[in-house]
Structure 1
Amino acid sequence: MRRVTMKSLYAGPDRSVAAGHTADFEDTEAEALVAGGYGVYEGDTRPKPEQTQAEDKPLDKLTVEQLKAYAAKHEIDLGEASKKADILTAIAAAEDAKE
């Protein structure tokens, strides 16, 4: 048995587990949930692969979520930007202003 904290709702034939809640699962089911990105093992604080790899990629190859995290880390105000192109423009403008 492994304890898994769910990232999304789990609905199985015998029970459901809400996102953010932790429950015990058989090892094979726990492995499938974690591998599929639906949950994390309880107490697992290792960085996710996409978090560690994001810093090695050019900005235009990052996802919107990764760009938002980059902006927050570098204290860049994105204003109303929500689309990838607008976020990239805001980041570029902020970095140009710093130079």
Structure 2
Amino acid sequence: MRRVTMHALYAGPERAVAAGQTAEFADEEAARLVGGGFGVYADEARRKEPADQAADKPVEKMTVAELQAYATARGIDLGDAKTKAEVLAVVVAAVEAAREAEAEA
């Protein structure tokens, strides 16, 4: 068994683990999640996080997993957004709102 800190929502047949949460998985499942970029081993030193790597990329070019990690890192609530277009729309709206609020301050 390995502990994995998730970068994206995990929904399995027995449980769900939200992005940012740490949970224990069977070795094979943990390796699949970490290998696919969906999380990192909780007991290893963290390298550059996907959300940080994605920050160098325009949001329009990010994958759904990168957008979800980006939103999680910035406290953006994605609500029911599931598709890339839906997630992207929520992220762009939140970024624009933050920029407007900053400009008014």
TM-score range, shorter chain: 0.5 to 0.7
Q: CA distance change for structure 1 residues 97 and 65 in 2, over 3 Å: closer, same or farther? A: same
> What RMSD in Å do the two structures reach over aligned CA positions?
3.4
What is the aligned-residue identity percentage? 43
What's the secondary structure of 1:71's corresponding residue? Answer: helix
Does structure 1 residue 95 correspond to structure 2 residue 105? no
Structure 1 residues 97 and 62, CA, compared in 2 at 3 Å: closer, same or farther?
same
Larger Rg: 1
2:73 alignment partner in structure 1: 73
Structure 2, unaligned runs of 5 or more: 5-26, 101-105
Q: 1:83 to 1:19 in 2, by over 3 A?
A: same
Q: TM-score scaled to structure 2, two decimals?
A: 0.50
Number of residue pairs the alignment of both structures matches: 73
Report the residue type matching 1:73 in the other structure. A
Matching of residue 62 in structure 1 with residue 62 in structure 2: yes
Distance in 1, matches of 2:59 and 2:89, equals 11
- With the length of structure 1 as denominator, give the TM-score of the two structures: 0.52
CA displacement 1:58-94 (0-9 Å, x = unmatched): 1111111110011111111111111111111111111
Distance 2:95 2:53 in 1: 21
